[in-house]
Amino acid sequence: MAKRINFSSHDMPGLFDDFESSMPVHPDIERHARLAGLTGGQAEVKVDGDPLGPVVVKPVPNKIVFMSFGSGSSGNCAYIGDARSGFLIDAGVDCKRIERGLNEYGLDMNHVKGICITHDHSDHMRYAYSIVRKYRHIRLYCTPRTLSGILRRHSVSRRIMDYQVNIYKEIPFTVDNFTFTAFEVMHDGSDNAGFYVEHDNRAFAFATDLGCISERADYYMRRADYLMIESNYDLNMLRFGPYPEYLKARIMNVNGHLDNRMTAEYLASIYADRLSYVFLCHLSHDNNTPEIALNESRTALENIGLKVGGGMDSPDDIGADIQLVALPRFDCSRLYTLRI
């Protein structure tokens, strides 16, 4: 069975900008905010003593923010939110790291209303119960089969069911200003989902683990303004690396993971004007590097005539057609602000 499918693109308009300034900012505070990637941001800034102290950011209405707390086989968790609420995609990262990452930008766990679990592998759900037990207002959104897989395959208290809300693929559900639709992806968990997240007229598609681009995954990803997609391994590094043959075969299977080339070719095939950000996720520690993954996708996008930015809000990035970012495997990313 072929692992790659060719698709035609559909042109749809898209917009991107950064925070809009609403008040004068002291130069030292502005410099600190620039280092944090929030220059020009409409922010509620509070400084205690040290002019380079913590910058407290209040999300602006009608804008969404995104960050990752880790992406790879050691743990996966990302955040999407607006001024009213926020949500985690997966919970494979310790709660303390999530808290630190949010606190750096003036957010806290009271802002998080739910966790969407993509599947039952431990690097995506390991800390789900400890998070909802500590913050009891947070709901856990996953399919019934995913919950069954979590309880069957892992040592998790059955009290996790007290916090879980059943969701079903292709049936949207709305929480606050966000509408989520789970969709089928090809992977080897008990029940595997990507998430298509809508906010006003913008959409973010999350596809963290998949061995091929299925029809339904393609349907949602090509309609996204922002896309988090797996770029797991470099084929030559995997083939000639130390992994046993059975593990190599599992990774390369249609229910395994996407390699850099497949991801790059797919991105080039679906590009439309509305697609402004691509976040490469779940990079293998042993069979990939951020530089190799970025180069593969950047080359494919440049070959169709695009100017590719690095997502750092530099002058070159502002003039780019698309921003391409490799999410850190073990650390928090910066907070990205996406226009609605």
- Look at residue 95 and tell me if it is in a domain: yes
> 336: helix, coil or strand?
strand
Write 28-36 long-range contacts (CB < 8 A, 24+): 28/52, 29/55, 36/104, 36/105, 36/334, 36/335
- Look at residue 9 and tell me if it is in a domain: no
* Torsion from C-alpha of 330, 331, 334, 340, nearest 10 degrees: 50
90: containing domain:
27-339
The length of the chain, given as a count of residues: 340
* Number of domains the chain contains: 1
- Look at residue 237 and tell me if it is in a domain: yes
The predicted pLDDT at position 54 comes to 53
Give the model's confidence band at 316: pLDDT under 50 very low, under 70 low, under 90 confident, else very high.
confident
The predicted pLDDT at position 63 comes to 86
The predicted pLDDT at position 56 comes to 55
- Look at residue 60 and tell me if it is in a domain: yes
Looking up tokens 């089928």 gives 184
Give the model's confidence band at 17: pLDDT under 50 very low, under 70 low, under 90 confident, else very high.
very low
**C-alpha distances in angstroms, 119 versus 36, 97, 195, 215, 254?**
32, 21, 11, 19, 16
- Look at residue 10 and tell me if it is in a domain: no
Cα gap 177→253, rounded to integer Å: 37
- Look at residue 2 and tell me if it is in a domain: no
Q: What CATH number is associated with residue 230?
A: 3.60.15.10
- Look at residue 35 and tell me if it is in a domain: yes
Cα gap 89→80, rounded to integer Å: 8
How is 212-264 classified by DSSP, letter by letter? S--HHHHHHHTT-SEEEEE--B-HHHHHTSSS-HHHHHHHHSTTS--BHHHHH
- Look at residue 8 and tell me if it is in a domain: no
Q: What is the pTM of this model?
A: 0.83
The answer to whether residue 279 scores a pLDDT higher than 90 is yes
Cα gap 212→263, rounded to integer Å: 9
The predicted pLDDT at position 58 comes to 57
